[in-house]
Amino acid sequence: MAAASSPSSLHSSLRSCSKISITSHLSFSGSSPGFVKIPSRSGICSVGRICAAPLRSQANPVKVSASAAPVMDKPDSRVSTVVDVDLGNRSYPIYIGPGLLDEPDLLQRHVHGKRVLVVTNTTIAPLYLDKVTSALTHGNENISVESVILPDGEQYKNMETLMKVFDKAIETRLDRKCTFVALGGGVIGDMCGFAAAAFLRGVNFIQIPTTLMAMVDSSVGGKTGINHPLGKNMIGAFYQPQCVLVDTDTLNTLRERELASGIAEVVKYGLIRDAAFFEWLENNMHTLLARDPIALSYAIKRSCENKAEVVSLDEKESGLRATLNLGHTFGHAIETQAGYGQWLHGEAVAAGTVMAVDMSFRLGWIDETIKKRTLDILQLAKLPIAPPDVMTVDKFKKTMAVDKKVADGLLRLILLKGPLGNCVFTGDYDRNVLDETLRAFCKS
Amino acid sequence: MAAASSPSSLHSSLRSCSKISITSHLSFSGSSPGFVKIPSRSGICSVGRICAAPLRSQANPVKVSASAAPVMDKPDSRVSTVVDVDLGNRSYPIYIGPGLLDEPDLLQRHVHGKRVLVVTNTTIAPLYLDKVTSALTHGNENISVESVILPDGEQYKNMETLMKVFDKAIETRLDRKCTFVALGGGVIGDMCGFAAAAFLRGVNFIQIPTTLMAMVDSSVGGKTGINHPLGKNMIGAFYQPQCVLVDTDTLNTLRERELASGIAEVVKYGLIRDAAFFEWLENNMHTLLARDPIALSYAIKRSCENKAEVVSLDEKESGLRATLNLGHTFGHAIETQAGYGQWLHGEAVAAGTVMAVDMSFRLGWIDETIKKRTLDILQLAKLPIAPPDVMTVDKFKKTMAVDKKVADGLLRLILLKGPLGNCVFTGDYDRNVLDETLRAFCKS
């Protein structure tokens, strides 16, 4: 079944830990005879912390068999994982596992001051607001919790909605020693994070993502912000949370379309830097879509580790971090032109990824099998593999021209190059090939 | 006339430089027989950089005779000063002197990318926008300059006006490699700075303050932000500029009331930490009000040095930096309740300073001469020494309750304590005395 890391690969991983400083540790609440095998075999768990695989060319210290069966029927198979995002004095842990909202200590140790503002939306509030409030206050009567419930959807990720958070914070007289808690998906995380960054020039911030997208994307890296009518995420801040708490049980209430949207980002990590993970995803997509908690925890952990590695090397996106935006430049254009909220972020990223991969193939930078495997895995996840009919070449060009990755007028793109798991961030490509790709995917 | 630093005081100053890391250097365009004497006497200039006085208890290495006559009629007396604000990788220089906008190199060395957005207002644009555009583009045809002209006044320091900056930046397709230039007073500096902090999650930023208030206050420390209807500066960021360029010639077009407003902040530095500077101000107030360029340059330099010392020790205002807010808690209440824009910031700070000093005296923390000297110097500067009639005890209390210095419900204040030049930031005071002060200054 599962293959543990060899001592030599583990050794090389531990050595490089001092350089890249992302660590993850796993704890098991019981024996885990399922397809996540390593801790019991390698004994890594007994020393507390292990290093995440620092480079894609090295052996992955947490190997998971692609053909292993899920273990949904095992009551003791719960896995709690911590991924530490190491950013100097802005470091924070990501707790991953089922039932974590039932462990108040985990949350309370990261609350500063006595007052908390939970920022959530109309979909999530009826499901989890009471539970989170209980977790924040359980055994701690000093804590008072306010909440602000925003309308749900990307179309509300704007200044007007953001002001509702400030209104609430100021009306209820929150001070610098308060804590903002984002309870919801990526939109809530981005808006609450930016509000926390800007309220009184910065207050404490905790993320409780409830969508797969938010768990694997916005939980790492501190990108916060809002949209402008002319472009996505144009206004924001880099602002790190105190911790991220991923209770995988919250995924049980997620719509199928939202789950698939998150999988688009998960697939991205495989494409840009982790071929082994891509292969695991190819073999485990059905298990993931069936919401197997161990498969989900593993996919979230591996995604967070991949992103944390990149972010710790390039927090402010001077270069490397931009590679996380594979498919996003095309995708943002789709989101902007289709109207915010019509296409989910991951759906747009999926179509955008297909376009980026198409362009990489046209440039001769990858072979056709990578293009085919990308299409196959996204279709398996029931994600769109082409932009909507409303998109035209002109609309793509107009929107892509205001992308944040434009520098001095030059549009840089993330494109695959070389074997699976390799990419480049470059403005050095044939413009005609970009046009070819746009024409291939647009009717006009 | 002027007294140079003794070798021993200079020595102690230089030694402490390594600890506090704020440096200033002066260059002279000619001989300077006026009242700023030290460089020619002590030979400090010849070694390039000297340390600013790091501690108020030490002898000031740049001593200026209080009784010296101004030297406005000396064509060679121009003084250019640089105060370096050392904040690790966010350090920046403040250039101070007349005619600096006629030196394009100074500005251009801090421009990143090829595109600049100048943010200014309807008062300043007709006076200096062309001059600044010339300075930015002189001898450098690659630079293109956009501008956005905002309405002038504290009442426009809000989200609606801020959005005009984002609109312009996005409409003109500025990218991450652009530079925002704040040309104007504190309101422009705060709004442009916050816009620069938030646009694409942070772009390059240069400040060209044109009011004394902006030169001595917002030019140091990176506080940016906007007001909320319920409180001043509630939304913002700590964001440092690449450089600050203080052309003292721009003060020639400043209204008298605005000049006096800036002097309120200058006086504050004397009160909280620099008795020698306070004494110099007592003796040179008429010269300052007559806009003597050397007196102005010295007052700006000493103010920036004082603030830079504090900020470098406590960038995020965990404690020490709060002392810079002497009079501001009372003052902010006046500004908020009188309606933004009715009272200038420094006018409100002056009245607030009188109230803070009154309270310090009532607590028995200072002797009566400090109270009298504070009243005298503010009156000499034609500043208000009491809040407007519209203020009531209740209005003060209501507004002060949402002050940023409230922590877990406790209002902390900056109060003078001990000899001139000493203060405390504390929540440990008799509430009844606060009430006494409020009643003494309010009719109801």
Q: What local confidence, expressed as pLDDT, does residue A26 receive?
A: 42
Distance from CA of B236 to the nearest CA of A (A): 5
Q: CB–CB of A76/A59 below 8 Å?
A: no
Q: A104 and A65: one domain?
A: no
Interval A19-29 mean pLDDT: 38
Considering A205, A230, A250, which residue would you say is the last residue of a domain? A250
User: Does the distance separating the beta carbons of B177 and A408 come in below 8 Å?
Assistant: yes
Contact list in B for residue A201 (CB cut-off 8 A) is 223-225, 233, 236-238
Q: CB–CB of B276/B299 below 8 Å?
A: no
A141 vs A257: which has the higher pLDDT: A257
CA distance B43 to A8: 64
The verdict on residue A298 lying in a domain is: no
* pLDDT tens digit sequence for A273-296: 999 999 999 999 999 999 999 999
List the single residue in A with minimal CA-CA distance to B411.
Answer: A175
Instruction: Domain count for chain A, please give it.
Output: 3
Q: What local confidence, expressed as pLDDT, does residue A17 receive?
A: 30
Q: Would you place residue A317 in the very low, low, confident or very high pLDDT band (cuts 50, 70, 90)?
A: confident
What residues of A are labeled active site? 201, 223, 265, 307, 317, 321, 325, 328, 332, 345
Q: B396 and B419: one domain?
A: yes
Catalytic (active site) residue B168: no
* pLDDT tens digit sequence for A102-116: 999 999 999 989 999
Q: What local confidence, expressed as pLDDT, does residue A89 receive?
A: 86
Distance from CA of B177 to the nearest CA of A (A): 6
Catalytic (active site) residue B417: no
* pLDDT tens digit sequence for B103-144: 999 999 999 999 999 999 999 999 999 999 999 999 998 999
The verdict on residue B83 lying in a domain is: no
> Residue A356: pLDDT above 60?
yes
List the single residue in A with minimal CA-CA distance to B400.
Answer: A173
Catalytic (active site) residue B347: no
Distance from CA of A172 to the nearest CA of B (A): 9
Handedness of CA A336, A342, A346, A350 (dihedral sign): negative
Contact list in A for residue B230 (CB cut-off 8 A) is 170-171
SS3 letters across B366-380: CCHHHHHHHHHHHHH
> Residue A8: pLDDT above 70?
no
Q: A34 and A104: one domain?
A: no
The verdict on residue A156 lying in a domain is: yes
Q: What local confidence, expressed as pLDDT, does residue B75 receive?
A: 33
> Residue B341: pLDDT above 50?
yes
- Cβ-Cβ pairs closer than 8 A, A with B, add up to 101
User: Does the distance separating the beta carbons of B230 and A171 come in below 8 Å?
Assistant: yes
Distance from CA of B46 to the nearest CA of A (A): 40
Count of other CB atoms within 10 angstroms of residue B168:
18
* pLDDT tens digit sequence for A39-56: 222 322 222 222 333 333
* pLDDT tens digit sequence for A206-234: 999 999 999 999 889 899 999 998 888 89
Catalytic (active site) residue B279: no
Contact list in B for residue A166 (CB cut-off 8 A) is 228, 234-235
Q: B169 and B128: one domain?
A: yes
> Residue A6: pLDDT above 80?
no
Q: Would you place residue B340 in the very low, low, confident or very high pLDDT band (cuts 50, 70, 90)?
A: low
List the single residue in A with minimal CA-CA distance to B222.
Answer: A201
Q: A111 and A176: one domain?
A: yes
Q: What local confidence, expressed as pLDDT, does residue B339 receive?
A: 73
Interval A326-330 mean pLDDT: 95
* pLDDT tens digit sequence for B291-329: 999 999 999 999 999 999 999 888 777 788 999 999 999
Q: Which has the minimum average pLDDT: A337-346, B152-161, B417-426?
A: A337-346
Catalytic (active site) residue B25: no
Considering A200, A229, A250, which residue would you say is the last residue of a domain? A250
Q: B331 and B410: one domain?
A: yes
> What is the domain extent for residue A16?
1-77
Q: What local confidence, expressed as pLDDT, does residue B230 receive?
A: 85
SS3 letters across chain A: CCCCCCHHHHHHHHHHHHHHCCEEEEEECCCCCCCCCHHHHHCHHHHCCEECCCCCCCCCCCCCCCCCCCCCCCCCCCEEEEEEECCHHHCEEEEEECCHHHCHHHHHCCCCCCEEEEEEECCCHHHHHHHHHHHHHCCCCCCEEEEEEECCCHHHCCHHHHHHHHHHHHHCCCCCCEEEEEEECHHHHHHHHHHHHHECCCCEEEEEECCHHHHHHHCCCCEEEEEECCEEEEEEEECCCCEEEEEHHHHHHCCHHHHHHHHHHHHHHHHHHCHHHHHHHHHHHHHHHCCCHHHHHHHHHHHHHHHHHHHHHCCCCCCHHHHHHCCHHHHHHHHHHHCECCECHHHHHHHHHHHHHHHHHHCCCCCHHHHHHHHHHHHHCCCCCCCCCCCCHHHHHHHHCCCCCEECCEECEEEECCCCCCEEEECCCCHHHHHHHHHHHCCC
* pLDDT tens digit sequence for B181-210: 999 999 999 999 999 999 999 999 999 999
Q: Which has the minimum average pLDDT: A118-127, A330-339, A354-363, B155-164?
A: A330-339
Q: Which has the minimum average pLDDT: A382-396, B40-54, B325-339?
A: B40-54
Catalytic (active site) residue B141: no
Q: Would you place residue A21 in the very low, low, confident or very high pLDDT band (cuts 50, 70, 90)?
A: very low
Q: Which of A90, A164, A200 to mutate to test the interface with B (most CBs of B within 10 A)?
A: A200
Q: Would you place residue A29 in the very low, low, confident or very high pLDDT band (cuts 50, 70, 90)?
A: very low
Catalytic (active site) residue B332: yes
Q: A60 and A141: one domain?
A: no
The verdict on residue A275 lying in a domain is: no
User: Does the distance separating the beta carbons of A166 and B228 come in below 8 Å?
Assistant: yes
